[in-house]
Structure 1
Amino acid sequence: MRSFRWPPPPDGGPRTWGPGPGGPRNGRPALPEPETELVATPHGVRLERLVTGTGEPVTVFAHGLGNGIATTRPFGSGVTGRKVFFQFRGHGRSEAPEGRWSYLDLARDLRAVADLSGATRAFGASLGAGALCRLLVESPERFERLVFFLPAALDQPRAPVARAGLDELLSAVESGDASAVAEVVAAELPPAVRNTPAGWAYLRQRLDHLLRDGLAPGLADLPGQVPLSDAGGLAAVTVPALVIAVEGDEVHPVEVAEQLANVLPRATLHRYARPGMLWTERADLRGRISEFLNG
């Protein structure tokens, strides 16, 4: 039986147990990481930021829980203008202030980065979608176009499976055991991708970031919180919005995306049939996002 294993093959793999030919080898070195910067914010938390592209418009990209700049950049590959990626507090090189964090704190992080860069459009994935919703309740006209990718919660807490998954990831990262972290991160990949060169590349990249920068323990409380007390407050957001959902994802229930699309007056909802569309529907997903944001 062929299965995922760790550590990875030294020559780029993949490798599988048992008889049969090995997978294709790719000896090309990984591209160097782009240089990021730490920026000061009005609320006193320095955040890691990466700016790519040139010109207008400016789009800010907010990542999901336990992820960061590297996993968010592919969403902006076809988006014109400047693209601003950042790390929420407790992720990457961003600071992790003491005390309990809330979605209000995340919304402040997002607003600060957007204001400093003059962003007029926003993309939020999972946790980032929740932070974007929290910002919009206070400032419904802050952005001209919005994309919500796999929203995980609005006015109800996230499912227990999401909390368990984060606890497992935080524990593995805190242990510093690469094998333990790899086993948790591998679950993010569709089974068909896990033993492919693309899967190994993703896994290596995620491990490099998580083991180098870690994740702050303060993130553990977030899955039990809600971005909004009442999702109805988003009815004041009258700008065009694209909501992207997927069937069969317990961490990002399609019902949350449906609720969000129903409450936003000018929202379009698109559903994918099964999880893993970043791998199986990559071109369609990127094209859909860029076509909407480029307007």
Structure 2
Amino acid sequence: MQINAHELNTRSQGKGPLFVWGHGLTGSMGSEDALGLFEWKKFPRDIRLLRYDARGHGESEASATPAGYHWAELGSDMTALAHKHARGSGYVLGGQSMGCATALYAALQCPEEVRGLVLVNPPTAWQTRAAQGAFYRKSAWVSGLLGGKLLAKVMSKDLSRLLPFWMLEARAEKVPGAFEGLSRMRRCTLFNLFRGAALTDLPAESALATLEVPTLILAWSDDPTHPLSTAETLAQLLPRAQLHIAHSNDEVLRWPALMREFVSQVSAKADA
């Protein structure tokens, strides 16, 4: 689908109120399915679930510049996708990590249309973003030299930056599949992608405080790339937010049901 001058790979299931979902950095729909974290096949069929590979990820067309990967630009893609599929009605937005940031920017672009937000593993932001930006600048240089296949091998040796140790233990057999998309990414795409990630941050706290929509925030502990400080600050800023923190794989296993229930409830209330 042509979205903001980029061909994006999309996938939808179900019919009814729209829920648009974005994945994390260097991920894709395929990597999400490999990890099996969200149980998308169990999503209610009376909700239209729209997933997509963000620009430069999976099977979607890449941006030619780092600025094209700023979260505000990705938010514009999500908004455009929502407009194409919602057909004048409201919608729910959500995402994990980079997708979480994408959803927040998209919600600020059209707040009157958003029925709810699902924010999973909010990334580093504000005070913690500078150090992460330095890491991404280094990653841009390394990935420009190695390319996706070798970078995936390097990253697979230090998975502690990607998942909590208890998640790695519980899903050890599924984690390798999450690198399949990364291994196919080109050097120039990875360079621009990481440079773009280094340039960006979450919206200003004052702007986020204006989002008067029901919000479900799901976060886990023991993950420096997705610190609890971001999730907790968002829970304080967003007027109608509820926060659930997981400290074990068993608690993460409850997330899909929480997401399904939340999206169904806010969609039904908006239609009532």
Instruction: Report if TM-score (shorter chain) is over 0.5.
Output: yes
State the shift of 1:100 in Å.
2.8
* Secondary structure of 1:158 counterpart: helix
Percent of aligned pairs with the same residue? 23
State the shift of 1:186 in Å.
7.7
* Counterparts in 2 of 1:145 and 1:79: CA distance versus 1, 3 Å: farther
Aligned 8 A contact 1:146 1:241 in 2: yes
C-alpha separation in 2, matches of 1:112 and 1:46: 12
C-alpha separation in 2, matches of 1:186 and 1:155: 22
C-alpha separation in 2, matches of 1:271 and 1:282: 9
State the shift of 1:187 in Å.
5.8
In structure 2, what is the equivalent of residue 63 of structure 1?
A: 23
In structure 1, what is the equivalent of residue 215 of structure 2?
A: 241
* Secondary structure of 2:63 counterpart: coil
Question: For residue 223 of structure 1, what is the amino acid of its counterpart?
Answer: A
Alignment of 1:1-295 (within 5 A): 39-41=1-3, 43-52=4-13, 54-72=14-32, 74-75=37-38, 76-80=40-44, 81-101=47-67, 102-118=70-86, 120-156=91-127, 158=129, 160-161=131-132, 164=135, 167=139, 170=143, 174=147, 176-177=149-150, 179-184=153-158, 188-189=162-163, 191=165, 198-203=171-176, 205-214=177-186, 215-221=189-195, 222-228=197-203, 230-273=204-247, 277=249, 280-295=250-265
Which structure has the higher relative contact order (CA within 8 Å, separation 6+)? 2
Please provide the CA RMSD for this pair.
Answer: 2.9
In structure 2, what is the equivalent of residue 30 of structure 1?
A: none
Normalized per residue, which structure has more helix?
2
C-alpha separation in 1, matches of 2:223 and 2:160: 16
Larger radius of gyration: 1
State the shift of 1:147 in Å.
0.6
Question: For residue 260 of structure 1, what is the amino acid of its counterpart?
Answer: L
* Secondary structure of 2:59 counterpart: coil
Aligned 8 A contact 1:130 1:154 in 2: no
* Counterparts in 2 of 1:266 and 1:217: CA distance versus 1, 3 Å: same
Aligned 8 A contact 1:63 1:125 in 2: yes
State the shift of 1:148 in Å.
0.5
Unaligned ranges ≥5, structure 2: 266-272
* Counterparts in 2 of 1:255 and 1:147: CA distance versus 1, 3 Å: same
C-alpha separation in 1, matches of 2:42 and 2:116: 16
Question: For residue 237 of structure 1, what is the amino acid of its counterpart?
Answer: L
State the shift of 1:225 in Å.
2.0
C-alpha separation in 1, matches of 2:218 and 2:182: 27
Superposed CA deviations along residues 143-182 of structure 1, whole A, max 9, x for unmatched, are 2121101111454562525753781883686163364353
* Secondary structure of 2:184 counterpart: helix
Question: For residue 174 of structure 1, what is the amino acid of its counterpart?
Answer: G
Aligned 8 A contact 2:162 2:225 in 1: no
Superposed CA deviations along residues 107-140 of structure 1, whole A, max 9, x for unmatched, are 1111122222227111121111112111222222
C-alpha separation in 2, matches of 1:249 and 1:201: 18
* Secondary structure of 1:176 counterpart: helix
* Counterparts in 2 of 1:103 and 1:258: CA distance versus 1, 3 Å: same
C-alpha separation in 2, matches of 1:131 and 1:195: 29
C-alpha separation in 1, matches of 2:71 and 2:114: 18
Question: For residue 99 of structure 2, what is the amino acid of its counterpart?
Answer: G
* Secondary structure of 2:154 counterpart: helix
Aligned 8 A contact 2:7 2:60 in 1: yes
